[in-house]
Structure 1
């Protein structure tokens, strides 16, 4: 059975969607949800779904001993709305096993500070005709890891950042769990 851990900082709708997707799967399961925000709704969602969860601070995340104790035997780490830069020691330990979903078509609208509504606002302000999601491997630079998958949606001239956010959320809900399963299926 493949083991998945999810890192999230906020409400956790993507995390919940992935947990539910794998609940009756015989090949993979979400075994742990981690958050840097002790008040994040994702922790409540994980508890309700019976998934172990824990919170941590920067010092813990950057401590390789803490990581060894808490991140054992994982096949994939999924960043689902996790806003901190992922530590290099974990990227080395889990080489090509850390993935993220970004709410734009990278390389556009990526980098430090480009997340959530910041991205959608920039897309609207620049009169983009389309946006989408990018699922990519995580490396030592924000949003620069190898692209695994992209899905697009059209943007109308009357769309607000909230309209764009709704379209992006729909793409995330549809594709993120499927792509996670594909990654695990092709990974030995």
Structure 2
């Protein structure tokens, strides 16, 4: 499995998974990272980690079709066969979605389908969970398809919502489960591919 990542900010999931590859917990080779943010910490980290990197965004490709094509070309040139979204804040185009169908994963900080969809990302999700009064939340790894957070869920972690929780405390506990959750989902894909 040759892994590529798309990240907009810190890329914590990418960092975790690259570490898992290097520790041999995941039988995969991390090959590339694309960011739509030229100043992202993920892009700087990936360069230092020896991954192929690219800044591809509406700043580099104002036309959505050209951007979709550029992302796909870069992923193919890097040899990626599996792609993980690591806090990537843009919708992907039909070329990338088609080429990597069934091999394109995202982690979302809720128990999908709850608190997913357009506008539901980051702290907005945790605030919605707290406002709903739910007793449980967690994270979901799902396949990326057209639309937002609508692809099939592969794995979920569960986290208790505690009395007195804030967005920050809830975010911290949910994020602490995301790396291992992605790792398990990718290990399952690797086993299924053999």
- Normalization by structure 1: what TM-score? 0.92
Q: Deviations over 1:31-71 (max 9, x none)?
A: 00110001111112212222221111133773254244311
User: Does 62-71 or 128-137 show the bigger shift?
Assistant: 62-71
- Which residue in the other structure is 1:94 paired with? 100
Q: Distance in 1 between matches of 2:49 and 2:69?
A: 28
Kindly report structure 1 stretches of 4+ aligned residues shifted beyond 6 Å. none
- Which residue in the other structure is 2:70 paired with? 66
- Which residue in the other structure is 1:23 paired with? 22
Tell me whether 1:11 sits opposite 2:15 in the alignment.
Answer: no
Which of 60, 73, 85 is 1:79 aligned to?
A: 85
Secondary structure of 1:4 counterpart = strand
Alignment of 1:158-173 (within 5 A): 158-173=164-179
Which of 177, 184, 187 is 1:181 aligned to?
A: 187
- Which residue in the other structure is 1:56 paired with? 56
Q: 1:61 to 1:40 in 2, by over 3 A?
A: farther
Q: 1:68 to 1:141 in 2, by over 3 A?
A: closer
Q: Distance in 1 between matches of 2:96 and 2:64?
A: 9
Secondary structure of 1:151 counterpart = strand
| Deviation, structure 1 residue 143 | 0.5
Q: Deviations over 1:14-35 (max 9, x none)?
A: 1111111112438311100110
User: Does 73-82 or 33-42 show the bigger shift?
Assistant: 73-82
Count of residues in correspondence between the two structures: 187
- Normalization by structure 2: what TM-score? 0.90
- Which residue in the other structure is 2:40 paired with? 40
> Structure 2 unaligned runs (5+)?
none
Q: 1:105 to 1:65 in 2, by over 3 A?
A: closer
RMSD: 1.7
Secondary structure of 1:184 counterpart = helix
